[in-house]
A and B are shown apart, each in its own frame.
Chain A
Amino acid sequence: MEIEGASGGHIGGGEGSGRGAYLVWEDLSAVLPNFSKGSPTRRLLNGLSGYAEPGRIMAIMGPSGSGKSTLLDTLAGRLSRNVVMTGNILFNGKKKRLAYGAVAYVTQEDVLLGTLTVRETITYSAHLRLPSSFTKEEVKNIVEGTIMEMGLLECADRSIGNWHLRGISGGEKKRVSIALEILTRPCILFLDEPTSGLDSASAFFVTQTLRSIARDGRTVVSSVHQPSSEVFALFDDLFLLSGGETVYFGEAKTAIEFFAEAGVPCPSRRNPSDHFLRCINSDFDIVTATLKGSQRIRDVPTSSDPLMNLATAEIKARLVEKYKRSKYADKTRARMQAILAIEGHVIEMKSGSQASWWKQLSTLLRRSSLNMSRDVGYYWLRIIIYILVSICVGTIYFDVGNGYTAIFARAACGAFITGFMTFMSIGGFPSFIEEMKVFYRERLNGYYGVSVFIISNFLSSFPFLAVVTLTSGTITYYLVKFRTEFSHYVFFCLNIFACISVIESLMMVVASLVPNFLMGIITGAGIMGILMMTSGFFRLLPDLPKPFWRYPVSYLSYGSWGIQGAYKNDFLGLEFDPMIPGDQKLTGDFVIQHMFGIPIDHSKWWDLAAIVAILVSYRVLFFVILKFKENALPLFQTLYAKRTLQKLDKRPSFRKVPSISSKRHQPLHSLSSQEGLNSPLQ
């Protein structure tokens, strides 16, 4: 019944549908301020008006740089804060700013954990966000229903795939991303170029699914880039943008009429959407100009194509003018008024997740452990490398003994283990960055809090680090034969464990700060190099220059505590041969105090405690950085935007500057830079 109403009539479409969300936007403009060197402030959107109704699927189309993504971000309330927006966006007749997670937004790239299967991905997401009051059975039903609805049944038990695991196809990935968003049954679904990068069958499938979601009484708004004929035929409404201006808004079918009326009819053997984009894509002007320059233009088929003789900029300007006075624009205005008159339901603004904190933590913990145990690169590869390295170390220092040279050998062995072996943690960096990406996406959608993420990440890595420690610790300890007592072995392992954990936390802090993988490795290696140098092995602690290196760096370095603890654990209570045979034997006490310059006023357990304290502080630092990135950066951007508004007030001509002319003089690629600029994920 509801489906009939929505798809059938245009007017009176969904009055009957109780839960539909009507979206209306009036006179929407967006400006990207730019204060540097008087370069012009860029206008991204220019006085756009329109509406979206339940039961219908709308395509936002335009050449690259036309403002598709900006419009989508604006409507979804995800506009980056440094863009100034004016105009009204009304939900069911009420002006309301959307919080993250209130509406569903599917981004262009599919950020998913590659090791999980499709069903697992959806199930964990459901547990994270559905209210805790739901029983397992209910959640399962919802998950299965969603898998069914998205046509993922066939690949439900296949893993998604990552760099070393072959997984599902691109189209399937996209459908998983959509499935995650429709789990909570949102009223409005926004999608950013869901068909880009897919082959025609997958693109058709994805769009068909979107259409069926819309027919279910939901409002679907999607930007599309170069749809094929089949895909284009599936859209109900079309919003054609160019340079931030409306070229056409209305039913997709009547767009062909509009273009014909405007004097650029679509040839019969042509995909209408190709034709529309061809008419308004000013890049074609540049192409034509260049082709003319290289004297090849004679060859261009002149046949029936009126476009070759007209500059696209001209056609575009004509279309924009024509549209303003066309019956389609009148119809749109009338429909907007009608919608605004409806006293719709207030959409309840649920936050992203309704699950309790504990539920989130346990779900995330399970998911994270599963991911770590399946991803070969995360820990397994490293465990193998650790075992290999510890066998090497163990055989080189095999049965080190109590000779005079053994003093130094024992020290070097301890330093090598705490220094170089922890260095190997860098190997897990790529996997960690993958996980961070998933975190950023889910955080943006309001799935869970920062603290839940950090705690779950720490806890789930715990068993793996323990395995790493136990294997490499046992191998080296018993091959080298440090001490015979078991308690010393326990301390040795605990010490390694603490050091590796610190390094892991440090790498996380680095990962949250650096822009890419390579910088992460370089920064991480640099920091570790400095920590190693100040740890008291390469230069004895008392010899370190007092300012800076001794205080505070050596105290902040986990390495110096690790080495102090290891030395005390190793030497105290042993006796060594002297340098010249016949002299008095050297006691461990003497070695530590006089040869290594380490005070023995506190026990080795205090050293361990210091490492644990450093570990905790790194985790806190990680938390603070994530929080800061989330809260403080947008604050700065808001300030920046406010300044723009003040500037704009001083410049009355702001609204009259036509944006077309300025756009044409920009270099070709600056257009593409605008794409995605406002997407917060960038």
Chain B
Amino acid sequence: MAHETEKTSNSAAGHSMMEIEASKPSGHGVVAGGLSPLSETLWREKASLEIVGDVSARLTWKDLTVTVTLSKGETQKVLEGLTGYAEPGTFTALMGPSGSGKSTLLDALSSRLAANAFLSGTILLNGRKRKLSFGTAAYVTQDDNLIGTLTVRETISYSARLRLPDKMSWSKKRALIESTIIEMGLQDCADTVIGNWHLRGISGGEKRRVSIALEILTRPRLLFLDEPTSGLDSASAFFVTQTLRALARDGRTVIASIHQPSSEVFELFDQLYLLSSGKTVYFGQASDAYEFFAQAGFPCPALRNPSDHFLRCVNSDFDKVKATLKGSMKLGFEASDDPLEKITTAEAIRVLIDSFRTSQYSYAAREKVEEISKVKGTVLDSGGSQASFLMQTFTLSKRSFINMSRDFGYYWLRLVIYIVVTVCIGTIYLNVGTGYNSILARGSCASFVFGFVTFMSIGGFPSFVEDMKVFQRERLNGHYGVTAFVISNTLSAMPFLILITFLAGTVCYYMVRLHPGFKHYLFFVLCLYASVTVVESLMMAIASIVPNFLMGIITGAGIQGIFMLVSGYFRLPNDIPKPVWRYPMSYISFHFWALQGQYQNDLSGLVFDNQSPDLPKIPGEYILENVFQIDTARSKWIDLSVILSMIVVYRIIFFIMIKFSEDVTPWIRGYMARRRMQQKNGNQNTTVSPNGLTQSPSLRTYATGRR
């Protein structure tokens, strides 16, 4: 640690120029850029080099312009001719009123632009034109999608196991985890759970720091953050920003968009990039911005937060506010010496942009960009996760199992409901017997159990939607593959589903006293288990396509309703209209197979009383064939295996759905946008993509609905 701190202070003291000198690969294996010994090891593993050279990230962008195609083929310039740079050891803040293009710039730099946005200009990382692969740059999104039931330490260590190489020893990993916790100041809440809707957990500021901790675990050299302080109170915002500054001082390059920082937070920025409607208002040292505004004729009044003042000057919404106020209210503004009261904000923005273009700050920035671009630094490259597929699957299964066992709403609540419902069924059909009426009763009992009881699986939907959010974040950051997720989810749910169905099934079976014999009982619970798992898989496939929770429940209920209708109970199999409903619907419905199997399981071998005692008794086989119209030639075990294979099919559908929305949808959207743009432009077909940067990594629109 002492080594590390020494390095840190070194790099903190040295300023930008120094950095570049120091960063030239030094022959005898000393790591530059203030890497801690741990990070050093990690980088060595990654790069499979004995000597790690300079691994710091220098990012420059020149004449960056982003154009967005709107739905009607119109294009809009979101960013216009931006030039700037970000260096190791500095914390750059992107500021601007809402809609000024902060997030777009951040997305452009981290190559996460939406598919319908087109980019021109040059973005260089260490003097090389290349796409940022996941892992080199970490991106912390605005919302913290974390698993609420895990503690902070667990969250971080599972993430470590998912992404760090298998070769790395556990003690090393552990040391890395602990150092990350300390670095992010999370040691006080390390063993507190994160918290969800029914569990009180850590505060918002702590959650944000956990999100950052997860991203810096692999020691990326470049860190992007989208509004890390919004929604936090002043103390937490200060803490988060302070941590970011510390991360930067450690030799990293930190770029964050920040919305309305308080005075304390603003003082922590190194570089400031002030945007207004896509244009640069100021770029340079944060502390010099004060001077710049004064020179441009908009001095910041005393006792005012400079950042409030800057935003006030460049926020054109204030024009609207003033116009409305003047129009609607009897009171005039109190006279003040504020120059902004005399001219409109639009005017002020124009003046500022012009005076920046000709200012020394702009020149300095351009020179610096040129200078940095010339230096060809290390190629920073790494895939998302270094862990093997098996390790990922194992870790994910374990994590998801722990989450399921702690989340009350995931399975425990359903266990309670299942038992309550089956006790109700059990008492209603209590000791059903072999009377004439019990023929129908047994049929309806089976139909109720397989129809409505499985229906209750919908209760786990919200927890599953939460899971999907975490998955999408992690997937976007390349933590693991879709296959690992699907397999682990199946595995971890299995014990709970077995527990639930066996308990509920046993209650029901022995209260109603269905067909005696252990084998028959076993078939019943297995069939119930398979059906519940099918419903789960079905709901998962639905969850991956529907836009929201309510639509998911309605769709799920609708599909199950139709399945139930064609299952052979509400309408006898032979009476179901042949086109559509009989073929193929009833064969797709898992209820159909479950009922076919269960009727055979329950009735065959039993003998029932007839309507009046003097008539002969009715054998079960007769009922199966003539009353319920069951195909007795097929064994009930085949019915069960059909249901089991449905599980696999639905999981595959789920897998395909995710893959589809990951790869194909963004591609289509990008294609459509390009075509619209070409149609609009007609002959003057501009090359939309002057360099390789425009093609988007496939995932970016997947999880982010925002711009």
Contact = CB atoms under 8 A, between A and B. Distances in A.
Interface of A: 3, 63-64, 148-151, 153-154, 163, 199-202, 204-205, 208-209, 212, 215, 225-226, 228-230, 256, 266, 268-272, 274-275, 277-278, 281, 283-284, 286-287, 290-291, 293-296, 298-301, 377, 381, 385, 388-389, 392-393, 395-398, 405, 408-409, 412-413, 415-416, 420, 423-424, 426-427, 430, 516, 518, 521-522, 525-526, 529-530, 532-534, 537-540, 543-545, 548-549, 668-669, 672
Contacts of B331: 3, 212, 215
Given A396-B581, A424-B557, A534-B428, A201 B97 contact: yes
A204 B182 CA distance: 40
Given A284-B238, A294-B185, A395-B580, A205 B444 contact: no
Nearest to B435: A543
Q: Which of A230, A278, A415, A423 neighbours the largest number of chain B CB atoms within 10 Å of its CB?
A: A230
Most buried by A among B290, B317, B321: B321
Given A389-B561, A405-B575, A529-B452, A201 B308 contact: no
A468 B435 CA distance: 41
B290 A269 contact: yes
Nearest to B574: A405
A544 B263 CA distance: 72
Secondary structure type dominating chain A contacts: helix
28 contacts: A149-B329, A153-B327, A228-B305, A270-B303, A271-B263, A274-B262, A274-B305, A281-B235, A290-B188, A294-B184, A294-B246, A298-B9, A299-B246, A299-B249, A393-B565, A395-B581, A396-B581, A409-B575, A412-B571, A413-B571, A416-B565, A522-B459, A525-B456, A526-B420, A539-B445, A543-B437, A545-B427, A549-B427
Contact of A518 (B97, B98, B325, B462): B462
Contact of B98 (A199, A522, A526, A533): A199
B498 interface: no
Judged by DSSP, the binding face of B is: helix
A571 to B, nearest CB: 16
Given A205-B321, A270-B263, A301-B267, A397 B571 contact: yes
B430 interface: yes
B571 A409 contact: yes
Interface string B182-199: 111101100000000100
A526 B421 contact: yes
Nearest to B461: A518
B8 to A, nearest CB: 8
B670 interface: no
A226 B427 contact: no
Contacts, number: 247
Nearest to B304: A229
Nearest to B203: A669
A270 B550 CA distance: 47
Contacts of B576: 396
Q: Of residues B5, B325, B458, B575, which shows the largest number of chain A Cβ atoms within 10 Å of its Cβ?
A: B575
A659 B545 CA distance: 53
Contact of B306 (A199, A269, A413, A427): A269
Contacts of A270: 263, 303-305
B308 A522 contact: no
B571 A271 contact: no
Interface in B197-239: 197, 200, 202-203, 233-236, 238-239
Given A294-B183, A408-B572, 4 more contacts: A202-B321, A293-B185, A412-B569, A537-B444
Contacts of B566: 396
A226 B97 contact: no
A153 B203 CA distance: 40
Nearest to A550: B428
Nearest to A669: B203
A91 to B, nearest CB: 26
Interface string B561-584: 110111001111011110011000
Contacts of B1: 295
Given A296-B243, A409-B572, A413-B570, A204 B428 contact: no
Contacts of A409: 571-572, 575
Interface centre among B325, B329, B424, B447 (most CB of A within 10 A): B329
Contact of B235 (A228, A283, A377): A283
A403 to B, nearest CB: 9
Nearest to B565: A396
Query: 7 nearest interchain CB pairs?
Result: A201-B317, A283-B235, A271-B305, A229-B308, A274-B263, A151-B324, A412-B570
Contact of B304 (A271, A392, A521): A271
Contacts of A532: 452
B312 interface: yes
Contacts of B427: 545, 548-549
Given A153-B327, A293-B185, A268 B424 contact: no
B702 interface: no
A295 B182 CA distance: 9
B358 interface: no
A564 to B, nearest CB: 17
Given A271-B308, A521-B553, A545-B427, A205 B302 contact: no
Nearest to B183: A294
B260 A228 contact: yes
Contact of A200 (B267, B315, B452): B315
A409 B565 CA distance: 11
Nearest to B586: A396
B305 A229 contact: yes
A593 to B, nearest CB: 13
Nearest to A381: B554
Contacts of B183: 294
A152 B263 CA distance: 32
Contacts of A530: 424
Contacts of A388: 558
Contacts of B317: 199, 201-202
B667 to A, nearest CB: 27
Nearest to B200: A669
B304 A296 contact: no
B300 interface: yes
Contacts of B51: none
A287 B558 contact: no
Contacts of A294: 182-185, 187, 246
Interface string B544-564: 000010100110011001101
A200 to B, nearest CB: 6
Nearest to A215: B331
B263 to A, nearest CB: 4
A377 B305 contact: no
Contacts of A521: 458, 553
A202 B188 CA distance: 37
Contacts of B312: 200, 229-230
A275 B565 CA distance: 67
Contacts of A529: 421, 424, 452, 456
Nearest to B452: A529
Nearest to A268: B302
Given A377-B550, A409-B575, A668-B203, A296 B246 contact: yes
Given A230-B308, A545-B428, A283 B570 contact: no
A420 B428 contact: no
Contact of A63 (B233, B303, B315, B447): B233
Contacts of A549: 427-428
B267 A533 contact: no
Interface in B96-125: 97-98
B299 to A, nearest CB: 11
Contacts of A525: 455-456, 458
Contacts of A212: 325, 329-331
Contact of A291 (B185, B306, B318): B185
Given A296-B242, A385-B554, A522-B417, A533 B440 contact: no
Interface string B395-438: 00000000000000100010001001100110111100000010
Contacts of A268: 302-303
